């Protein structure tokens, strides 16, 4: 299969070729490995490949799922593939093979996907750019001096560069939507509990949501159909039923859309990101929707409470790691600010944590009340276009680290707190050729509405036909 033939199809299209006998899973894996070899030297977005395991899965007979034979990559964080490490770009985990597949990976395999590698992440997902001491920097295929985003940046860049049509990602505060915006691809963060978190449990009070970065809207919807659904061993579950793929292409009706370019907690928003939203408003009104400027007013303590919860979660995670390692962890194991965050987390009293959790509930109430009057909320995905690599110093204090987060991606974490689905849709490119996305969010469990809207926007202003300067076959 030539690069042109491979890139001409999204994942749904490649699966259809296999189904019709016009190509084979081995041919598609050959193409994906060739694409990796062609661009990974320049981009550094695939951290490992395991061709032997992928070939063995093909020889054993792939399940007759909706993506039978389609190559796929896992983000190297939370997604355990038996026999392969889940390194998290952190030294103690780099060579520790997973004992079993996570439930999400089982569902990917049941869908017929051929998983052949892992994508880069920041160390423990705590840099705001996909850069790490373990693996170095991942480069944006649109402009390699700039970030791919955090922390699913390797997956987003792999999709943009044509290695795979879709790749796994997850999102605890923006890490599907941010790299989708930076790399010019589609990124849907599902509702809390929509995809399984088993067996490791519901991280960050269910705020960490699993899904994917995709080249087309229909791939995202069809993949969510294949993986979504309750799991009896987890605390949070979203309702099952219906088909998201069937929603793509359906008319969304006339939507009431709230619009804001005022970043939560006062971070300035770059003029290009504002222009991207204004262009989306013009398009939405041409499509018959009603747009009204409306900001979200949040409790002043909400950002502090979110930070405290993250600190506590990292401290807890490291207590588990110490039991696995059989030794205490210390400053030599981490980038400086990550160690400071862990130390802070260990000082938090249970009563303070409970009060902070109540504060995040107030943030959720403020966000969700917006959907009493509106169907959808539109904002920039990011407060800035993709920043240059090296923009974030990991030797700063935790307070400065979180301030840097808020200045870069202040719009996304609200919908992790509220449990709402939210998506980043490619909107425009700036003068440096870098993509800028816009974020759309809806009430919890309203992915169907967002998929209908995304399909309408994709049809009106197609983005999937344009590849970045660095891509397979360039």
Instruction: For residue 439, count other CB atoms closer than 10 A to its CB.
Output: 28
Model pLDDT, residue 245: 98
- Tell me the CA distances in angstroms from 326 to 318, 320, 322, 337, one per residue in order: 12, 10, 6, 23
Our CA angle for 17, 19, 23, nearest 5°, is: 45
Model pLDDT, residue 235: 82
Q: How many residues does the chain have?
A: 474
> In the structure, what pLDDT confidence band is assigned to residue 85 with cuts at 50, 70 and 90?
very high
Return the bridge partners of 379, or none: 439
Q: Is the overall model pTM greater than 0.85, yes or no?
A: yes
Q: Residue 285: what are its φ and ψ, rounded to 5°?
A: -70, -35
Of residues 239 and 256, more confidence is placed in 256
Residue 242 has pLDDT above 90, yes or no: no
Q: Which of 42-56, 104-118, 191-205 has the lowest mean pLDDT?
A: 191-205
Return the bridge partners of 166, or none: 214
Mean pLDDT of 345-349: 97
Model pLDDT, residue 201: 63
CA 168 to chain centre: 8
Model pLDDT, residue 464: 75
* Reduced 3-state DSSP string for 353-386: HHHHHHHHHHHHHHHHHHHHCCCEEEEECCCCCC
Percent of the chain predicted with pLDDT > 90: 93
User: Hey, what are 34's tokens?
Assistant: 């060739």
Model pLDDT, residue 87: 97
Model pLDDT, residue 203: 72
Please state whether 348 falls in left (phi above 0), alpha (psi between -120 and 50) or beta.
Answer: beta
Residue 277 has pLDDT above 70, yes or no: yes
CA distance linking residue 177 with residue 158, whole number of Å: 15
Residue 283 has pLDDT above 80, yes or no: yes
- C-beta separation of 134 from 91 below 8 A: yes
Give me the active site residues, please.
Answer: 75, 151, 175
For every residue of 206-259, DSSP letters joined together read: GT-EEEEEESSHHHHHHHHHHH-S--TT-S--PPP-S-SGGGTTS---S-EEEE
In tens, the pLDDT along 137-157 reads 999 999 999 999 999 999 999
In tens, the pLDDT along 39-65 reads 999 999 999 999 999 999 999 999 999
In tens, the pLDDT along 2-43 reads 999 999 999 999 999 999 999 999 999 999 999 999 999 999
> In the structure, what pLDDT confidence band is assigned to residue 375 with cuts at 50, 70 and 90?
very high
Model pLDDT, residue 236: 83
Would you give the DSSP letter of residue 164? -
Model pLDDT, residue 348: 97
> In the structure, what pLDDT confidence band is assigned to residue 233 with cuts at 50, 70 and 90?
confident
For strand 114-119 and strand 71-75, is the pairing parallel, antiparallel, or unpaired? parallel
In tens, the pLDDT along 205-226 reads 889 999 999 999 999 999 999 9
- C-beta separation of 22 from 15 below 8 A: no
CA distance linking residue 248 with residue 449, whole number of Å: 9
Q: Which of 42-51, 197-206, 261-270 has the lowest mean pLDDT?
A: 197-206
| C-alpha dihedral (180, 62, 192, 458), degrees to nearest 10 | 40
User: Hey, what are 334's tokens?
Assistant: 């981490």
């Amino acid at each position: 299969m030539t690069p042109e033939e491979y890139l001409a199809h999204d994942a749904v299209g490649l699966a259809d070729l296999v189904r019709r006998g016009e190509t084979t899973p081995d041919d598609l894996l050959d193409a994906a490995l060739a694409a990796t070899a062609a661009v990974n030297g320049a981009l550094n977005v695939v951290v490992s490949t395991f061709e032997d395991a992928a070939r063995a899965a093909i020889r054993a007979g792939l399940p007759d799922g909706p993506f039978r034979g389609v190559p796929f990559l896992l983000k190297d964080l939370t997604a355990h593939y038996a026999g392969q490490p889940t390194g998290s770009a952190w030294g103690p985990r780099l060579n520790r093979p997973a004992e079993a597949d996570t439930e999400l990976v089982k569902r990917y395999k049941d869908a017929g996907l051929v998983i052949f590698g892992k994508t880069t992440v920041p160390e423990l997902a705590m840099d705001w750019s996909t850069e790490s001491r373990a693996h170095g920097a991942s480069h944006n295929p649109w402009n390699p001096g700039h970030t791919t985003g955090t922390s699913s940046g390797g997956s987003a860049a792999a999709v943009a560069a044509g290695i795979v049509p879709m790749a796994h990602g997850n999102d605890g505060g923006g890490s599907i939507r941010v790299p989708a915006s930076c790399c010019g691809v589609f990124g849907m963060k599902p509702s809390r509990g929509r995809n399984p978190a088993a067996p490791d449990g519901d991280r960050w009070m269910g705020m960490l949501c699993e899904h994917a970065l995709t080249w087309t809207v229909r791939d995202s919807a069809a993949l969510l159909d294949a993986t979504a659904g309750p799991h009896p061993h987890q605390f949070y579950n979203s309702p099952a039923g219906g088909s998201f793929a069937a929603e793509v292409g359906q008319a969304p009706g006339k939507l009431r859309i709230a619009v804001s370019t005022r970043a939560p907690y006062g971070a300035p928003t770059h003029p290009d990101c504002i222009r991207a939203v204004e262009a989306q408003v013009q398009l939405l009104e041409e499509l018959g929707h009603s747009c009204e400027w409306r900001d979200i007013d949040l409790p002043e303590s909400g950002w502090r409470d979110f930070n405290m919860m993250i600190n506590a979660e990292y401290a807890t995670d490291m207590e588990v790691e110490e039991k696995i390692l059989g030794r205490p962890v210390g400053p030599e194991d981490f980038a400086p600010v990550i160690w400071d965050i862990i130390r802070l987390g260990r000082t938090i009293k249970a009563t303070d944590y409970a009060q902070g959790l109540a504060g995040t509930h107030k943030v959720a109430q403020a966000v969700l009340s917006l959907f009493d009057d509106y169907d959808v909320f539109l904002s920039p995905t990011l407060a800035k276009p993709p920043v240059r690599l090296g923009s974030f110093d990991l030797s700063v204090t935790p307070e400065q680290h979180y301030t840097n987060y808020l200045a870069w991606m202040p719009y996304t974490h609200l919908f992790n707190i509220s449990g709402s689905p939210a998506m980043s849709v490619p909107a425009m490119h700036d003068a440096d050729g870098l993509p800028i996305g816009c974020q759309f969010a809806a009430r919890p469990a309203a992915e169907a509405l967002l998929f209908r809207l995304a399909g309408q926007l994709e049809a009106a202003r197609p983005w999937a036909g344009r590849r970045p300067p660095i891509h397979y076959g360039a």
